[in-house]
Amino acid sequence: MPTFAASLLQLQSDLGTQGDRVLTMVSKAVEAYFDHDEAKAQDVVKLDDAIDAVDVAIERASIPLLAMGQTDESAIRKVLTIVKVNNELERIADCGVTIAEQVIGHQRLPDPMPSTFRVMANSVLGMLRDSNRALATSNADLARQVLLFDDTVDRFRNELTMQAQEQVALGAISVRFAFRITGATRSMERIADHSTNICEQTIYLLTGKIVRHRPEGWSDPTAPAIR
């Protein structure tokens, strides 16, 4: 019978592989969107089935570990982190599918792609890559850097939304294209949000401290209150 340590190590490895798989999927979705590549978009949709299957497998494998009666707080945090990060990755994959679906069966529109959207997409892919790396390498500093970049993504979203509205009013882009670009922008923002959630879990795993978001922006983690 596998020991707790061996089972945990396997789950951590499976989660890392899933993170790489999701990053590859989202990268393909973005490429398909920019190039209007329906074949690549179809590949993204097909990959989602494999991601869903691994998501379920990791969750099911986590339950027996919690039932082994571990009392070490760090060990319990590791299992809970795996469960939570696993869920975040599955939701990121869903966002990738949403982006890809805007390509499949849709006519390529002649409207110019906003340069800000390309910058936003590259930034979000970087956040996802770094959130995976922070968890895999137990790097709380890298996780904090990802959190600090979330406000920048929000600014990109606001800029793109306003720009789309202004361009439609001026007749510079079609309403259909405006809907597509704002929809893709929302999906990219959600990927960034899920990536920051992974980083919050990484910081909690490594430090036992809670990351709090405040109206004025991200703040350093504080120790949980003792009751």
Beta bridge mates, 222: 210
Class of domain 4-218: mainly alpha
Q: State the amino acid at position 48 in one-letter form.
A: D
Q: How far is CA 45 from the centre of its chain?
A: 16
172: three-class secondary structure by DSSP: coil
The C-alpha angle with vertex 69 and arms to 63 and 70, in degrees rounded to 5, equals: 95
pLDDT digits (tens, 9 = 90+) for 171-212: 999 999 999 999 999 999 999 999 999 999 999 888 877 665
pLDDT digits (tens, 9 = 90+) for 134-162: 999 999 999 999 999 989 999 999 999 99
The reported pLDDT for the residue numbered 75 is: 84
Q: What is the 3-state secondary structure (H, E, C) of 39-105?
A: HHHHHHHHHHHHHHHHHHHHHHHHHHHHCCCCCCHHHHHHHHHHHHHHHHHHHHHHHHHHHHHCCCC
pTM of the model: 0.89
pLDDT digits (tens, 9 = 90+) for 86-142: 999 999 999 999 999 999 989 888 888 899 999 999 999 999 999 999 999 999 999
The reported pLDDT for the residue numbered 53 is: 97
The reported pLDDT for the residue numbered 226 is: 41
Query: What does the radius of gyration of the chain's CA atoms come to, in whole angstroms?
Result: 19
Find where tokens 């890809």 sit. Answer: 100
DSSP state string for 87-118: HHHHHHHHHHHHHHHTTTT-PPP-SPPPHHHH
Question: Between the CA of residue 180 and those of 151, 161, 183, 193, what are the distances in Å?
Answer: 23, 11, 5, 20
Measure the CA–CA gap between 195 and 122, rounded to whole angstroms.
14
Q: What percent of the chain has pLDDT over 70?
A: 92
Two structure tokens written together for 149: 């970049």
Closest among 158, 159, 162, 180 to 170, alpha carbons compared = 162
Cβ contacts of 200 within 8 Å, gap of 6 or more:
143, 147, 211
pLDDT digits (tens, 9 = 90+) for 6-22: 999 999 999 999 999 99
Contact 28, 97 (CB under 8 A): no
